[in-house]
Chain A
């Protein structure tokens, strides 16, 4: 039998030293809990801690049309951190028209040449003349600026379908919904008060409706979640252990641990750590068990979508909780004269074949469910009111940099062209829509040269006259047939769009940066251009990568579980049985999530790994004669955070709550009833009893 500590040591008899560690634990936790927020607010900076994207949607309701029109024109610039989503429409239109021929890419070059064919020119103008007879022709069509319909050939630079206000905000086609983009650290409540002040100032009545959406999605307060967790934990432990003092001691100790680790472990991970620590404390986890749980998140290092600091933060937190289980809880039991918990009733193990059948059935059913599981991508969920104007779930971002404004704009144009080539059907928005890089300009000027545009301009004048049309009415179009004026970055900065382009540039230590928005097409290729980022791209990659990442993390987790089980039992059969039971619990928990919640995501992986590690720990006993762990109490520890996460306002945590509740329940049952049978099956035939 290996030399190993079995559970926390018995407390030392010296009473003065006995309570030193608990005192230190709770005083440190109290100091951090009290001083933590003050330190944050004492930073002396009035700048917001986090600047996120906020979208304000204002619905007109039945308010007066004139008051609404005034509000639409002026609301955006009055709000903090206003970022125009579009350039001033009149200036953008003039700029786009002036350089119409340059927006046409190589693919549309044959169509452009055909448009200037003399016979086609005559037919097109005859068609315009015929349709002018229709009373409804010419409404909204830019006949004077583009009689040949060339704008359709430059699809990537065509006029966006969403109208914009002079302030650069988006307005729905019926004019009744306004969308404003802010980049600010102000809270939604503060922004709402700003908007309502403007509504009042513009005499827009109460029928208008306001929605404020922030990205990334706000998370429920970690503090509230932890306190609720602790309350439910104390209650469930008291019911399952039937020992009030022990339950309260464990709840207060892990609560203090949550305060101590709150600086580096928050959100769902804090709830997971709390549950795992409470469970290991109840079952008097060995050092190996604590290490097994402490390294549970190491497989996340294999996945690029997770922060590498997460496993480290988790390990540190578990180490701290292990200290509490060893040096804080036992002295408190003694000091409060808490009666020991009744020993757990040894579970009735399933026969080996039945255990194998149960685990195989669970894994097979789980795998079948998982095969059709849709992948949740909550980060790309666009609120319904925003979707017609700006679909965040389909919009990617592209950041381009340069030493000077001109260089940054050129880089943006270059990057946008590369994305357009890689993603046919993508729509480019932002400064890159209005600028071309030097290489493209040279290529397009060279391609336009053989068309003899000045000569075709003269021919067009003659055809217009022949059909009773005045060439002067089309002078704006005839002017663009002189290809000398190019939409270069320098010309754009000096032109009518200059102020907007300058405002769109961000300056930092490394120069200037420009952000381009890319509306992704419905069918995305794989892989996407690497420079694209944003919720839509993350969602696409999550959908593609999740099955592989899930398999990798679960296999690595199973290996770790088996390794630590072997360290504890020094026999291969119990180690394999513990790993098999843990993997079964994980797969079944995932299938439960699919069946109940409907979809899975990367966010479930930490909870799955922790459930697997705890299950493996509960399933491993150094010898068959070792006392059975108090499984009911351990399960109760996972029920508390499971319930809290399930009841949370944040929909992204519901599935994690299910993993904890379903996974821990299944893990506990399998650890108790299936492990001995599986262990017997894995033993060499000659070693079987």
Chain B
């Protein structure tokens, strides 16, 4: 999208009435602008996923490949045979252990839809409205260009997602790191590298 159009859209976003949504701060606009540069029809990247949870003695670290195909297909394949393959397609999440002898997982409750929709919005057409749907945006402390998305107050997703933190490459708009936190303290960090974009 041309820079001028993007800026016009952002200006419209900022000029919306206060009753509709609080105007995003300059810092948020800067991050959204950077994020919008990275739109692509598809993406393949390597990831390093770290899960910190009270269920495990030590943080669990796995490596794998992320494949995203616009508009709504996301797949994460762990390299290790003891890991899992995660597929999110058409709003349906399936998680299968890489070892076929292990049992399948039940469908997660609808409250997790918020996380799925916002993950897809982050990778997809870089639509600011989709990103803001049911979410509060803020700028977290820390290095780099980061954006924090939290479920709106009272949203049922509050029960399962505390926040979704994104680190964006300031030059390319690529997503470098995603982290979501569970209200019970679990934290999952997905660090992305070796981005290979499919042209828009």
User: Which residues of A are interface residues toward B (Cβ below 8 A)?
Assistant: 62-66, 68-69, 72-73, 123-124, 126-127, 129-141, 143-144, 149, 152, 161, 163, 171, 173-175, 205, 207, 468-470, 473-474
Q: Beyond A136-B88, A173-B111, is A65–B80 a contact (Cβ under 8 Å)?
A: no
Partner of B56, one of A66, A130, A140, A468: A468
Cβ B105 vs Cβ A139 within 8 A: no
Pick the contact of A130 from B88, B99, B113, B190 — CB < 8 Å? Answer: B99
Task: Say yes or no: A134-B86 contact (C-beta < 8 A), given A62-B19, A173-B156.
Answer: yes
B65 an interface residue at 8 Å Cβ cutoff? no
Instruction: A126-B99, A127-B102, A131-B84 are known; give 19 further A-B pairs, CB within 8 A.
Output: A65-B152, A68-B153, A69-B153, A127-B97, A129-B82, A132-B56, A132-B60, A133-B51, A133-B82, A134-B76, A134-B84, A135-B180, A138-B182, A144-B184, A161-B110, A171-B156, A173-B111, A468-B58, A470-B55
Cβ-based interface call for B8 (8 A): no
Which 9 A-B pairs rank lowest in CB-CB distance, beginning with the nearest?
A69-B154, A69-B153, A65-B152, A130-B97, A133-B83, A127-B102, A134-B84, A140-B160, A175-B155
Q: How far is the CB of A121 from chain B (nearest CB, A)?
A: 12
Q: A147: shortest Cβ distance to chain B, in Å?
A: 9
User: Is the C-beta of B199 less than 8 angstroms from some C-beta in chain A?
Assistant: no
Query: Is B53 an interface residue when CB atoms closer than 8 A count as contact?
Result: yes
Give the residues in chain A near B111, CB-CB below 8 Å. Answer: 140, 163, 173
Q: In the assembled complex, which residues on chain B have CB atoms less than 8 Å from the CB atom of A137?
A: 84, 86, 95, 105
Question: Which of chain B's residues 101-116 have a Cβ closer than 8 Å to chain A?
Answer: 101-103, 105-106, 108-113, 115-116
The residue on A at minimum CB distance from B18 is A64
Given known A-B contacts A127-B105, A132-B53, A135-B51, A163 and B161 have beta carbons under 8 A apart: no
22 contacts between A and B (CB under 8 A): A68-B152, A69-B154, A72-B154, A73-B154, A130-B98, A132-B56, A133-B60, A133-B62, A134-B83, A135-B190, A136-B86, A136-B115, A143-B55, A149-B106, A161-B109, A173-B111, A173-B113, A173-B156, A175-B157, A207-B19, A468-B57, A473-B54
Residue from the list B20, B85, B108 in contact with A140, Cβ < 8 A = B108
Q: How many Å from the CB of B194 to the closest CB on chain A?
A: 17
- CB of B13 closer than 8 Å to a CB of A: no
Kindly list chain B residues whose C-beta atoms are within 8 Å of the C-beta of A144. Answer: 55, 184
How many Å from the CB of A288 to the closest CB on chain B? 68
| Of the residues A62, A132, A133, A163, contact of B80 by C-beta under 8 Å | A133
How far apart are the CA atoms of A580 and B102 in the complex, in Å?
A: 74
Cβ of B106: which chain A residues have Cβ within 8 Å of it?
141, 149, 152
Whether, in the assembled complex, B127 has its beta carbon less than 8 Å from a beta carbon of chain A, the answer is no
Q: CA–CA, A149 to B54, complex, Å?
A: 19
Is residue B197 contacting chain A, with contact meaning CB distance below 8 A? no
Instruction: Give the complex CA separation of A136 and B120 in angstroms.
Output: 13
Give the residues in chain B near A149, CB-CB below 8 Å: 106
A130: chain B residues within 8 A (beta carbon): 82-84, 97-99, 102
For residue A76, give the distance in angstroms from its CB to the closest CB of chain B. Answer: 14
Q: Is the CB of A133 within 8 A of B49?
A: yes
Bound CA span A83–B76, Å = 46
**Cα(A63)–Cα(B153), bound, Å:** 12
Interface of A is mostly: loop
B71 part of interface (Cβ distance < 8 Å): no
The interface residues of chain A lying within 8 Å CB-to-CB of B190 are 135
Chain A residue nearest to B155 (CB atoms) is: A175
Q: How many A-B residue pairs have CB under 8 A?
A: 145
Interface size class for chain B? 35 or more
Which residues on A sit within 8 Å (CB–CB) of B97?
Answer: 126-127, 130-131
Distance to closest chain A CB from B130 (angstroms):
14
Chain A residue nearest to B156 (CB atoms) is A163
Q: Are A63 and B55 in contact (CB under 8 A)?
A: no
- A143 to B49, alpha carbons, bound, how many Å? 19
Residue of A nearest to B188 (CB): A135
**Among A68, A127, A135, A152, which residue has its beta carbon within 8 angstroms of that of B86?**
A135
Docked-complex contact A474 and B55, CB < 8 angstroms = yes
Given contacts A134-B84, A137-B105, contact A65 B154 (CB under 8 A): yes
Contacts of B156 in A (CB 8 A): 163, 171, 173-175
Q: A127-B105, A134-B76, A163-B156 are in contact. Are A470 and B83 (CB under 8 A)?
A: no
Is there contact, CB below 8 Å, between B152 and A69? yes
Query: What residue in chain B is nearest A465 (Cβ atoms)?
Result: B57
Q: Do A175 and B134 touch across chains, with their CB atoms under 8 A apart?
A: yes
**Which residue, of A66, A152, A474, has the highest number of chain B Cβ atoms within 10 A?**
A66
Q: B128 interface residue, CB < 8 Å from A?
A: no
Q: Are A133 and B78 in contact (CB under 8 A)?
A: yes
Q: Mark B138-173, 1 if CB is under 8 A from A, else 0.
A: 000000000000001111110111000000000000
Flag if B55 contacts A123 (CB, 8 Å).
no
Complex contacts, B152 vs chain A, CB 8 Å: 65, 68-69, 175
From residue 14 to 41 of chain B, which have CB atoms closer than 8 A to chain A?
Answer: 19-22
When distances are taken between beta carbons in the complex, the residues of chain A under 8 Å from B113 are 173
In the complex, residue of chain A having the shortest beta-carbon distance to the beta carbon of B135 = A65
Looking at the assembled complex, report how far the CB atom of A157 sits from the nearest CB atom of chain B, in whole angstroms. Answer: 16
**B58-85 interface code vs A (CB 8 A; 1 in, 0 out):** 1010100000000000001010101111
With CB as the reference atom, state the residue of chain A lying closest to B64: A133
> In the complex, A123→B99 CA distance in Å?
11
Contacts of A473 in B (CB 8 A): 53-55
Min distance, Cβ B50 to any Cβ of chain A, angstroms: 9
Please indicate which of the listed interface residues B20, B84, B93, B111 has the most CB atoms of chain A within 10 Å of its own CB: B84
B105 and A131 within 8 A (CB): yes
Question: In the assembled complex, which residues on chain A have CB atoms less than 8 Å from the CB atom of B184?
Answer: 144
| CB <8 Å contact, A173 and B110 | yes
Q: How far is the CB of B95 from chain A (nearest CB, A)?
A: 5
CA distance A132 to B159 in the complex (A): 19
CB distance from B122 to the nearest CB of A (A): 13
Known interface pairs A136-B88, A140-B112. Does A174 touch B134 (Cβ–Cβ under 8 Å)?
yes
* Min distance, Cβ B31 to any Cβ of chain A, angstroms: 20
Q: Are B57 and A135 in contact (CB under 8 A)?
A: no
C-alpha gap A369/B34 in the complex (Å): 67
Most interface-central of B55, B57, B102, B106 (chain A CB within 10 A): B55
Q: Contacts A131-B97, A136-B88: A65 and B102 contacting too (C-beta < 8 A)? A: no
Closest residue on chain B to residue A144 by CB atoms: B55
> Is the C-beta of B136 less than 8 angstroms from some C-beta in chain A?
yes
Question: With A and B bound together, what is the CA distance between A174 and B161 in angstroms?
Answer: 14
User: Cβ of B154: which chain A residues have Cβ within 8 Å of it?
Assistant: 65, 68-69, 72-73, 171, 175
